[in-house]
Amino acid sequence: MGAALPLGDPIPAAGPLGEDSTWSADAPFSVYLHVPFCRVRCGYCDFNTYTAQELHGASQDAYAETVRREITLSAAQLAARGPLRPATTVFLGGGTPTLLPAGDLGRMLHGVAEEFGIAPDAEVTVEANPDTVVDGTAEALAAAGVTRMSVGMQSAVPHVLASLDRTHRPENVRSAVNSARAAGLQVSVDVIYGAPGESLEDWRRSLDAALALEPDHISAYALIVEDGTKLARQIRRGEVVPPDDDLQADMYELADALLGEAGYDWYEVSNWARTPDSRSRHNLAYWEGADWWGYGPGAHSHIAGTRFWNVRHPAAYAARLAAGESPAAGRETPDATARRWEEVLLRTRIRDGLPVERLSASGRRALAALIADGLVDGAAAVHGRVVLTLRGRLLGDTVARALTS
């Protein structure tokens, strides 16, 4: 059913922010809209998603209005702490958002616009399974305010798609991309490397296919084996060979080389863009520690240093909101040590890097050794930024631990 929720503090009667939280009128604000529905469950996926057989009474048809109730509740809580500000980015993720009619996704966006406003230049992204982008889908989404579509290609190789339990038709990837582009949307393509049985040449074939689509943005993610997934069980039983770290490193280096040669600029460990304007502003908001509110079952939020998350199942989520209650299940406020670790780990993932001034004295001492080891760009450090080299990106956790030691 997706990843288990973290342990946390109980939600105060005043709502997930409590009575002592502040709300800055100046900081950027982002919105995540979670759509937890999928036709099938991919064997590697640990997201909070549900097939039709797993909904247990929850209604897809009523989902948009249920989310709008949460949007209204959140706006009331934030308005009590200061002026509301418009969303600068909105991301409809899942699950498979495009399993819902475009009109339902538009109603969710309209709810955000009514309560908060959506900035005129906002980035509004929808994730899409290629098979669900049928005639008129992209045009309807664009009319609803979507500006960007992220197409889940994952691979161009049939046996790799099969190993991931992906059921979309590979030829529909191009159709979805063409439809999105014709509707005036920016296009991102997602691919995964390190699947069971995938060779370096298989991966090259997928990269070539992604580049042939000429998208504005490409995300390339290493397959991670998550506890509780079908893939983890298959590996535990010896039915599938686990991902090979060295092969995944070779695949990452190949992606960086081919994407760079094709004019895509790396800006985050797993992301490349044609131009700075093509970067995912929504995901950058996560990595830069901005404020965002996540709506939907299992969605996570970060407001003014407080993190909170909703109940996981769509039925429990709907029941809470039908009763006029917050769907939040728990919250936490990280201490200074946790904050420093998080900032280092996230900011060193991105091309703009981490300001050297944000490091502790021990972190600054560790910086020289990391530069000598070729993990941090020495030229960038001279200009006050910690920026990882290609090798440093492959060892990101090691670098972050050294900088926070």
**Order of strands across the sheet that contains 87-94:** 265-268, 271-273, 217-222, 186-193, 148-154, 118-128, 87-94, 29-35, 291-295, 300-303, 306-310, 328-332
What is the percentage of the chain residues whose pLDDT exceeds 90?
A: 79
For residue range 184-215, what is the model confidence (pLDDT) as tens digits?
999 999 999 999 999 999 999 999 999 999 99
HSE toward the beta carbon, residue 130, CA cutoff 13 A = 22
- How far is residue 93 CA from its own chain's centroid? 8
CA 81 vs. chain centroid, Å, equals: 28
Each as own residue / partner, the long-range contacts of residues 234-242 (CB below 8 Å, 24 or more positions apart, any chain) are 234/43, 240/163, 240/196, 241/196, 241/197
Residue 351's DSSP bridge partners are none
Write down the pLDDT at residue 74: 96
Q: Is the pLDDT of residue 235 over 50?
A: yes
List phi, psi (to 5°) of 208. -60, -40
According to DSSP, the residues that pair with 35 across neighbouring strands are: 94
Reply yes or no on whether the pLDDT at 18 is more than 50.
Answer: yes
Judge whether 83 and 124 are in contact, CB under 8 Å.
no
Question: Given this model, what pLDDT does residue 263 score?
Answer: 98
pLDDT of residue 159: 94
Whether the CB-CB separation of 84 and 117 falls below 8 Å is answered with yes
pLDDT at 2 exceeding the cut of 50: no
Q: What is the mean pLDDT of the chain?
A: 93
- What's the pLDDT tens digit per position in 274-303? 999 999 999 999 999 999 999 999 999 999
> Among 9-23, 74-88, 111-125, 170-184, which stretch is predicted with the lowest mean pLDDT?
9-23
pLDDT score of 20 = 62
pLDDT per position as a tens digit, 130-176 = 999 999 999 999 999 999 999 999 999 999 999 998 888 888 999 99
The residue with greater pLDDT, 45 or 263, is: 263
